[in-house]
Copies of this chain bind each other. A is one copy, B any other.
Amino acid sequence: MTARPRVVIVGAGFGGLAAAKAMEKAPVDVVVLDRHNYHTFQPLLYQVATAGLNAADVAYVVRGLFRRTQRVAVRKALVIGVDWDSRSVLCAHEDPVPFDYLVVAAGSACNYFGIPGAEKYAFPLYTLEDAIRLRNHVLSLFEAASAVPALLDDGVLTFVVAGGGPTGVEVAGALGELIDRVLREDFHDLDISQARVMLVEAAPQLLTPFSPKSQRYAKRELERHGVEVCLNTAVTRVTEDEVTLASGDVIRTRALIWGAGVKAGGLAERLGLPTGRGGRVTVESDLSVAGHPDVFVVGDIADAPDGKGAGDRLPQLAQPAIQGGKHAAEQIVRTIHRAPRTDFRYLDKGTMATIGRRAAVAEFPTGTKLTGPVAWLAWLALHLLYLLGVRNKVSVFVNWAWNYLTWDRGPRLIIRPERLAQTAHPLSDLETIEPS
């Protein structure tokens, strides 16, 4: 048996999994490395954070995807860098993993733009743990208000969402619905009218890449759901219980949710490769790295042209990552078969954002623009389609139907982390060291 080339994929997000899936039958051995044992369907994290879905509904165990494929190995490992001399991936607690080809699909991280206090106090929404943590926090604030009503006058139920992009719009809308429709009933002993959801955006409009019509629709719908939309408003400082705006206004709040910016994940700066906007790794037209023809960088961590000219870059969304991962896999197979490489062409399938019950916006490159129930149904259908695993699809569908029909939300549990952590067994967590 001759040794097959070994392809190491860093990250089991949309990009990494698309690459691995595309190489399942190729003459290579694939190793997928991820710090979690599951793939996270990030577009629905905000629904976990607002108690609409179970954590397990938006996560799929990576090993479960490759059970029938002996050539794909999956490892839960924290990648901390690459040794270019020995051509191996460095992990926090394991031996280096040598590669012949490397696909870096390590994703993005929150960009706090150096705003004082933001990184320490704001709640991001990038991982499943982020979502559970935010859900715990929101529900705990309501419990705190119920236990100590004086906190109500001190903004304990004021929720500030920073960033008017899809993430910010979706989380603000879902939070407004959760409070108005569910927590109002749960906490019938509380003056829920004191609860506020604010969406602050530095630009003069929401959903910048969308058309003005969709932008106005989103603002109107959010306001109809009770969300205060503050445009032309930047956050300048964050503390434990205050958010300061550029106007000088100070908002008392214990919950600032951060949807204001994205940059490359922490691994980007540890690779020693040239980077562009947002710290993203600069790639060639075939998504490989200059001087490293066997190394591909795809998805949120890659700084790639969008192919429309004008110097615009690919957006940090699922579609470019999926298409990029697949393209990288194809280039590796082509290289092995000594076929010439091809340039990456991004096929824009459109963008969507949901605002709440029966309210969403969707825009397609054909020029079609949808708002309202039709866009919302399209959003639901597409997200079910792209969600991995039949069980997850069924569970999400059941939960959505339930929430829609009953105005209820199921999993509004406060899971106490200190109780989870209560273990004397070091093997319970292989990842106590995080990369800086």
How many subunits of this chain does the assembly comprise?
A: 2
Question: Which residues of B sit under 8 angstroms from A151, Cβ to Cβ?
Answer: 427
Instruction: Check A144 against B54 for contact (C-beta < 8 Å).
Output: no
User: Interface extent on A, as a size class?
Assistant: 35 or more
Query: Of B54, B139, B415, B423, which is within 8 A of A137 by CB?
Result: B423
A55 is an interface residue with CB less than 8 A from chain B? yes
Q: Which of A39-69 contact B (CB under 8 A)?
A: 54-57, 59, 61, 63-64, 67
Instruction: Check A429 against B418 for contact (C-beta < 8 Å).
Output: yes
A215 is an interface residue with CB less than 8 A from chain B? no
Bound: A263/B172 CA distance, A: 46
Question: Which residues of B sit under 8 angstroms from A121, Cβ to Cβ?
Answer: 424-425
A236 is an interface residue with CB less than 8 A from chain B? no
Whether A421 touches B417, Cβ cut-off 8 Å, given contacts A254-B427, A392-B410, A410-B395, is: yes
Bound: A244/B219 CA distance, A: 65
Contact with B along A8-34 (1 / 0, CB 8 A): 000000000000000000000000000
Bound: A408/B240 CA distance, A: 44
A93 is an interface residue with CB less than 8 A from chain B? yes
Q: Which residue of B lies closest to A63 (CB)?
A: B186
Query: Of B70, B120, B144, B187, which is within 8 A of A63 by CB?
Result: B187
A185 is an interface residue with CB less than 8 A from chain B? yes
A430 is an interface residue with CB less than 8 A from chain B? yes
Bound: A67/B186 CA distance, A: 5
Q: Which residue of B lies closest to A76 (CB)?
A: B143
A75 is an interface residue with CB less than 8 A from chain B? yes
A1 is an interface residue with CB less than 8 A from chain B? no
Bound: A254/B412 CA distance, A: 32
Instruction: Check B394 against A402 for contact (C-beta < 8 Å).
Output: yes
Instruction: Check A411 against B56 for contact (C-beta < 8 Å).
Output: yes
Q: Which of A356-375 contact B (CB under 8 A)?
A: none
Whether A420 touches B93, Cβ cut-off 8 Å, given contacts A37-B139, A59-B413, A398-B398, is: no
Instruction: Check B410 against A147 for contact (C-beta < 8 Å).
Output: no
